[in-house]
Amino acid sequence: MPDPSCICNLHCSLQLAPDPYPLKLHVHLDGAIKPETILYYGRKRGIALPANTPEELQDVIGMDKPLSLPAFLAKFDYYMPAIASAPVAYGSSQVRCRIGAAAAGLRHSHSSLGSEPRLQPAPQLMAVGDLTPDEVVDLVGQGLQEGERDFGVKVRSILCCMRHQPTWSPEVVELCKKYRQQTVVAIDLAGDETIEGSSLFPGHVQAYEEAVKSGVHRTVHAGEVGSAEVVKEAVDTLKTERLGHGYHTLEDEALYTRLRQANMHFEVCPWSSYLTGAWKPGTEHAVIRFKNDQANYSLNTDDPLIFKSTLDTDYQMTKRDMGFTEEEFKRLNINAAKSSFLPDDEKTELLDLLYKAYGMPPTSSAGMLLSEPWAVGISSKMPALPPSHGQCQGCVPTPWLVAASH
């Protein structure tokens, strides 16, 4: 019987199948938690929740039809106080199964090769918990490392800054630096892109400048609902190496051409883009253009708890409605692996596994990454498999473990 205290969205006894695995670069750890887990810790900590059963809670938290991005982000307010910084949720003997498996990409999934889960620090939630942002990052890192060993996957974490809280960002980058040897590989900027000029808030700029200086990898949620100008700010000011979503880059053909030539990686989340209103049905999705142009991109789940999805949802959507083929899935997975933030030796190992799984001869350039840490063009690691193996992986929020948004 599943342990309700286990944060991962699968049974504790689940074993990964030795098949070609999907990779995921864009999934938020706090957006991939079981409803049972939320209820368990809510009751344990005496925090009121808007429902009493997992099914009822899923109905409240989950989305069945498109909402605005701010409305989607508000979903996290329902349950984050119940799980944020709870020591029992992050420091118990279940850390391996709870965090290791979840970040290994396992919400109702069976196999996965790697993931870069996102974790988000939220000081204001620490008031209702017992752990500091530093302690949360440390414990999550321990869980991810154990998950790597036990499940045979590659898992790295990304810490998220939030657009509406630039004063947090300097602490986030310091945590990235402190825990770079314990799974943390990058910094991210997430949240509401409609906050005008938020990419240029001094706290964010300062944090990203320090990341460049210190060799911390960088990704930014940009161009999901924000304009191409937000993408340009992420690239030119924040020196991002990957783009979370990036759909509205296409509004500026010159910018898109520049990024494509630089091999910029787009972390695409098709089903998420439908439910958040980032993509309007009846119009051509940006991922179709990316596919036709053979751009560098991956497919991801984003927040499977709220979107009631798995990676298979995104693969089926693109295959059924957008003409994607098995060959394209292989191509985007390989590009995702090349664009991951893994060290070169581990990247080569990961690529060798993919080439072998796909029956493809490895190339001499397999696993090579851009030479300069601030170069515009590093892609993300999110290899996906054929639809039958669809699964999502975890994106780690930031140190305060709040809802990591887009």
- Per-residue pLDDT, 63: 95
Non-local CB neighbours of 38 within 8 Å, separated by 6+ positions: 49, 57, 61, 79, 82, 83
Query: Of 83-87, 132-136, 150-154, 271-275, which one has max mean pLDDT?
Result: 271-275
Q: Give yes or no for residue 276 having a pLDDT over 60.
A: yes
The neighbouring-strand residues paired with 266 are 243, 297
Q: Give yes or no for residue 267 having a pLDDT over 80.
A: yes
Q: Which domains does the chain have, with CATH numbers?
A: 23-389 (3.20.20.140)
Report the C-alpha gap between 132 and 345 in whole angstroms.
33
Q: Give yes or no for residue 122 having a pLDDT over 60.
A: no
- Per-residue pLDDT, 98: 47
Instruction: Report which DSSP code applies to 268.
Output: E
Measured at the CA of 129, the angle between CA 126 and CA 131, to 5 degrees, comes to: 75
When pLDDT is averaged across residues 238-266 and rounded to a whole number, the result is 99
Q: Give yes or no for residue 186 having a pLDDT over 80.
A: yes
Report the C-alpha gap between 382 and 390 in whole angstroms.
12
Q: Give yes or no for residue 231 having a pLDDT over 50.
A: yes
Task: Check if 224 is active-site.
Answer: yes
- Per-residue pLDDT, 123: 52
- Per-residue pLDDT, 397: 30
Average the pLDDT over each of 88-92, 140-144, 288-292 and give the range with the smallest value. 88-92
- Per-residue pLDDT, 388: 33
Q: Are 379 and 242 in contact (CB under 8 A)?
A: yes
When pLDDT is averaged across residues 282-292 and rounded to a whole number, the result is 98
Query: Of 115-124, 195-204, 309-318, which one has max mean pLDDT?
Result: 195-204
When pLDDT is averaged across residues 130-143 and rounded to a whole number, the result is 84
**CA torsion, ordered 64, 68, 73, 75, to nearest 10 deg:** -40
When pLDDT is averaged across residues 122-127 and rounded to a whole number, the result is 49
When pLDDT is averaged across residues 279-285 and rounded to a whole number, the result is 96
Give the residue carrying structure tokens 């990676």. Answer: 311
- Per-residue pLDDT, 351: 93
Report the C-alpha gap between 397 and 133 in whole angstroms.
11
Query: Predicted confidence band at 62 (pLDDT cuts at 50, 70, 90)?
Result: very high
- Per-residue pLDDT, 4: 53
Instruction: Report which DSSP code applies to 15.
Output: -
Q: Give yes or no for residue 6 having a pLDDT over 70.
A: no
Instruction: Report which DSSP code applies to 217.
Output: E
Give the residue with greater pLDDT, 214 vs 100: 214
When pLDDT is averaged across residues 69-78 and rounded to a whole number, the result is 91
Active-site residue identified among 36, 224, 241, 267: 224
